[in-house]
Every structure is written in C-alpha cells, then in structure tokens.
Amino acid sequence: MKAAVLHEVGKPLEVENVSISKPQPREVLLRTKAAGLCHSDLHFIEGSYPWPLPAVLGHESAAVVEEVGSQVSYLKPGDHVITCLSAFCGHCEDCLTGRMSLCLSPELQRDPKGEPRLGAGPGDLNQFLNLSSFAEQMLVHENAVVKIREDMPLDRAALIGCSVTTGTGAVIHTAGVKAGETVAVIGCGGVGLACINGAAIAGAGRVIAVDTVDKKLELARFFGATDTVNASNTDAVAEVIEMTSGGVHYSFEAIGLKQTTEQAFGMLRRGGTCTVIGMIPVGTMVEVHGVEFLAEKKIQGSLMGSNRFRVDMPRLIDFYLNGKLHLDELISNRIGLDDINSGMKSLKSGEIARNVIIFD
C-alpha cells in the first residue's frame, strides 16, 4: 500500500510503498477513505513533540472495514467506521471511572517483540497514535474505531475523528458549559471552529471568537460566534473583558501557544475556567499571576475533548445530519495523498480550516 512516511524531523513526508500485517485476534484491517490534516501532525513533523521515526503519521480518519480478527464481534467487513486515537481497554481505572480518553493500556499496541503492524522492506515503521491514517490501509485495535451509519459522508466523518470531537468535547465534557454562559475561543482553525459550534449547541449566551485572520472570523460567525475580535489590531483581553463587563465564564485556547494561553486565562471573570486545547510545545512554561487564583479562576487541560467516542461520535453525526453541526464548511480543500506536503504547508499558514485527503 501507499503511505506518507516521516523519516526525519523537519523534512517533507515521503509517499512510498509499505507493507502491512494481517489482523491479530482483536485487530481490524481498514481501507482508508478520508484523512484530515491536523496541526497535531504538523507538531510532530516539526519536532515540537517527539515520536520514534520512521513513522506513518495521520490520526483523523474514516474508513471501511476490510477484515477482522478472530475475536472481533463488534465489527464486520463492509462496516463504515471513524477512527479515534484515544483507544480504550475498557477495564483500567481510567476506563472504569468514565475517563476513557486517558487510557494508556499497552494491550492496545502489539507486543514489541512480535511482528509490527507496519513495515517497509528491511526496516519496521512506527505506528502513530494507534492509527497511522496517512495510508491506504490501517491496522488497528478494535477499540480504536466506532461503527457509524452508512448515510454519513466519509470525508466529513473523518473530521469527527479528531478536530470536531476535540473542540465540541472540550466545551461539553471538559468544561461543562451551561446554557446562557459566556464563552471566548482563541483560534479559529478546525478545532476552534468546532469549539465555537459546540458552545452554540450547548446554548452559550455569548460566544466570542478571537483570531488574527478576518476570513476565519467571518467563518466563526457561521459556526455560532455572536461576536468576533481581531487580535492583530486590538488588545484582545481588554476587549473581551469590556464586551462582557468583567470577563467570560469559560475561555478556550485552540492554538497551542504560551501567549494565547495566558490571554485566555486573562479573559476570565471571577470564578471562570480556562481550558487549553492546543498543543503547547514541550518545554514551554505558561505564566499566570498567582493572585488570580484568589478569584477562583481555574486553568485546565483537555485531551481529545474528554471523549467517550463510541457514544459521542454517533451523536455528532446525528447533529450534522440534523443541521446543527457544521462540517461541510470545515473542509477547505480535498487533496490526494501525493499532495500531502503542499497540504501541510497551507495548514501551517493558518489561512485554512482543514485539508482532507481523499483515497480512491
């Protein structure tokens, strides 16, 4: 099969032929239909986060089941699925206490002493985040996928695999935004727009979108923003505080920078909560004034929207098909696997929401 391989940090991905193993008892072989290009992939390409190389990247995808292992009963060939990097074992402390997105059970990967899932001639390839979806096929644990209804377009379903689940989940699960409360979202890329959409679905009384690109702020209004702030020509913190007479109940940072994280915390009203969604580079320190905690302001992280993806993703599909969740407008371009490096370049520019690879 063809796959996009990262051999060296800072270098372009190389599209090449690689081998893939056969399913073990609890594994499924998938035919990839669509894969989104996510800023998280870009972080690993640029070395902001480490990963063993060479590796096939990609983690936001939808597929069709081709083959299942001998112990798999949840899926059958022909099923349509969305993949999720937060695979779960179902019996560790995190899973049993309802925090399945935090599961790190080693049983979700193959025994490192055995045959790897991916290979390329003389050397083995590392699988990325349990998935590696920049490839024509994927071999994954059955608990890394959710079966979905077949009338859902797979290019839009792929977006639910990461950005949409992350953004909406941060609002609904991690932060628990309630009807009528005020929200500010910094960063109107794919995750930020999903966050804005999630806040609108949750019934937030006011949703303020913050970015430096007017085109993305216009799109944010379509996704549910009631107000916008262009941070390139104003003090965004001061403006949000003035607009809300003291700050928002909830702020969300969807970029992954020290400055914007500190701004998100600064936008809070007394008793407010800042949720960091973006991937801040390893080693970066975030500074906040300690006196702010006396006002009961909080800062917290969110991993994949604190999801329960086998429940959440089918519900998000229903929201989309009912017209409440906007996915069509998230897709900026549909590209082929051979165009992946140009797609990554446009993603880095910050001018687009999502590029999606379409596999034949």
pLDDT tens by residue, 59-104: 999 999 999 999 999 999 999 999 999 999 999 999 999 999 999 9
Identity of the residue numbered 188: C
Q: Domain-by-domain residue ranges, the chain?
A: 2-147+327-358, 167-302
> Is residue 71 helix, strand or coil?
coil
**What strands, in cross-sheet order, belong to the sheet with 126-127?**
14-17, 2-6, 55-56, 126-127
User: Residue 124: its pLDDT value, please?
Assistant: 78
Q: Name residue 141's beta-bridge partners.
A: 27
* Residue 312 structure tokens: 């959440």
Residue 358 CA to residue 360 CA, distance in Å, equals: 7
User: Residue 347: its pLDDT value, please?
Assistant: 85
Residue 75 CA to residue 82 CA, distance in Å, equals: 12
> Is residue 80 helix, strand or coil?
strand
pLDDT tens by residue, 133-171: 999 999 999 999 999 999 999 999 999 999 999 999 999
Residue 79 CA to residue 86 CA, distance in Å, equals: 20
Residue 356 CA to residue 336 CA, distance in Å, equals: 8
User: Residue 261: its pLDDT value, please?
Assistant: 98
- Does domain 2-147+327-358 fall into CATH 3.90.180.10? yes
User: Which contacts qualify for 107-113: CB closer than 8 Å, 24 or more apart?
Assistant: 107/141, 108/141, 108/143, 108/144, 109/141, 110/24
User: Residue 112: its pLDDT value, please?
Assistant: 85
Query: Any idea which fold 167-302 has?
Result: Rossmann fold (3.40.50)
pLDDT tens by residue, 186-245: 999 999 999 999 999 999 999 999 999 999 999 999 999 999 999 999 999 999 999 999
pLDDT tens by residue, 96-124: 999 999 999 999 999 888 889 998 655 67
CB proximity list for 171: less than 8 A, separation 6 or greater: 177, 183, 195, 198, 199, 202, 204, 250, 252
* Residue 303 structure tokens: 């991993």
pLDDT band at 22 (very low <50, low <70, confident <90, very high): very high
**Across all residues in the chain, what is the average pLDDT?**
95
Crossing angle for the helix pair 214-223 and 190-202, to the nearest 10 degrees: 30
pLDDT tens by residue, 325-334: 999 999 999 9
Residue 15 CA to residue 212 CA, distance in Å, equals: 34
Provide the 10 A C-beta neighbour count for residue 354.
Answer: 28
Q: Is the pLDDT of residue 274 over 70?
A: yes
Q: Average pLDDT for residues 303-318, to the nearest whole number?
A: 97
Identity of the residue numbered 25: P
pLDDT band at 338 (very low <50, low <70, confident <90, very high): very high
